[in-house]
Amino acid sequence: MGHIDHFPSEVISLILNHVDRKSLHACTLINKSFSSEVIPLLWRHLDINSNDVLASITTILEEASGSLMGESVRSVIIASKLLSDDDLLSFVKHVPLLNSLTLREASNITDESIVRVPLYVPHLTHLSLRSAHITQLSMEAMARHWQHQLGSLELIACNDLNYNLYASLLQYTALKELNIIQCYLDETVERTCDTIQEAAAWNVMALPHLTHLFIRQYKANYAPFLAALCTAPAWPRLTHLDLEPCYAMTDAMAIALIQSHPNLTSLSLVDGPQLTDKTLDAIVKYLPNIIEVGLCGDPGITPDGLRRLVKTCRRLEYVDCTECKIYPHHFPDVDRNFMEFDTGCGTDNYSWYVSALYGGAFDGGARGLDDNMIKAVSKTT
């Protein structure tokens, strides 16, 4: 074997592929060959937690404009409440090959920057924005530039958007993951025009490549949207579905949704007061590959229904049953290590209840509850 100083770059690259990020820093000290291979790897992902750090990185990239440092950056997470449009634009112009951009605190970000970001990072495949003050102008600008490659879009608490958002999604032909979380989408329109919600649902259903769909509108009444989603098969490749709240969802609607998406591995139907064990039995019957189930705030389900679900679905790993009034005494045969517990279920502010069950909970080998848990449980019976 040759001396380490004479390793070809291909060999060094193979070695570095098996080195964790913390150890990569030490590898820069081996020799110049290792250092030249390591530095692009260290810049591949940037996790920036303040404006001061962002300013320093931007300055470094400006001063190294003749090098390939900026072109090494592929993924960026910025978590700074002070982030402004100017800050963002000053940075992104130096990272032309960026694939993934996450802005965790974007309360000062507006259309002013977002409509221009695609001009600097034309290859983006993942975008996540929280609390950004963007409008339909940004959605249309992004669609013009990223329509063929943006595969993942997450919008959290972007409250200047409206239901036209869903119409613009039709242009994103590569979209596979869509998360719309706590975006109020012009509540006045939402409450007065059911046809707008129905049209929005049909626009989402027209995205054939979706594998992940998360729509959470905690304070919203979007019953027409839910009803439209449940009317017809929509996404043949869908594996993850999360809807909240499900106030208006009935067992019949849930079952239709489950039947038409047999490839689901994760299903969460939150705050569904009309859902019962019929929905759980449909999961057992139609979702052979289910791994995670979310039933938080679904008080119509029963311990027997949960038992059938967990015992029958052999790939199931986790069931969230928070605020379903399921108590430890319902499962005296289950090892406590297969359950999660919490307090305060509805009006039972001081009662222990079961907030989650793990797969295999009913496979035997239970040790039962310890004495402290038994005393806590006795207060609920």
The H-assigned helical ranges of the chain are: 9-16, 21-27, 32-42, 51-63, 85-92, 111-114, 117-120, 136-146, 164-168, 187-192, 194-205, 223-229, 251-259, 277-286, 303-312, 371-378
DSSP string computed for 156-176:
ES-TT--THHHHHGGG-TT--
Q: What is the mean pLDDT of residues 342-363?
A: 78
Q: What's the mean pLDDT in 107-121?
A: 98
Phi, psi of 348, rounded to the nearest 5 degrees: -85, 70
The domain segmentation of the chain, as residue ranges, is: 1-42, 253-381
Asked if 136 contacts 186 with a C-beta cutoff of 8 angstroms, the reply is no
- Report which residue type is found at 233: P
Q: Among candidates 148, 203, 145, 211, which has minimal Cα distance to 179?
A: 211
pLDDT (tens digit per residue) in 57-112: 999 899 887 667 888 899 999 999 999 999 999 999 999 999 999 999 999 999 99
- Mean of per-residue pLDDT scores for the chain: 84
Residue 220 confidence (pLDDT) above 70? no
pTM for the whole structure: 0.83
Q: Which amino acid would we find at residue 306? A: L
pLDDT computed for residue 206 by the predictor = 86
Q: Peptide bond before 245: cis, by omega within 30 degrees of 0?
A: yes
Nearest to 29 by CA among 21, 39, 19: 39
pLDDT of residue 19: 52
Residue-level pLDDT at 51:
95
Sort strands 318-320 and 348-358 into parallel, antiparallel or unpaired.
Answer: antiparallel
pLDDT for 147-187, tens place per residue? 999 999 999 999 999 888 888 999 999 999 999 999 887 65
Residues in the chain: 381
378 pLDDT above the threshold of 50 = no
At 248-262, the pLDDT tens digits run 899 999 999 999 999
Q: Identify the H or E element spanning 319.
A: strand 318-320
Instruction: Count other Cβ atoms within 10 Å, centred on residue 180.
Output: 22
Find the range with the poorest average confidence among 9-18, 55-64, 117-126, 309-318: 9-18
Least confident of 68-77, 125-134, 179-188, 317-326: 179-188
Neighbours of 112 (CB within 10 A): 16
Question: Residue range 7-29: average pLDDT?
Answer: 48
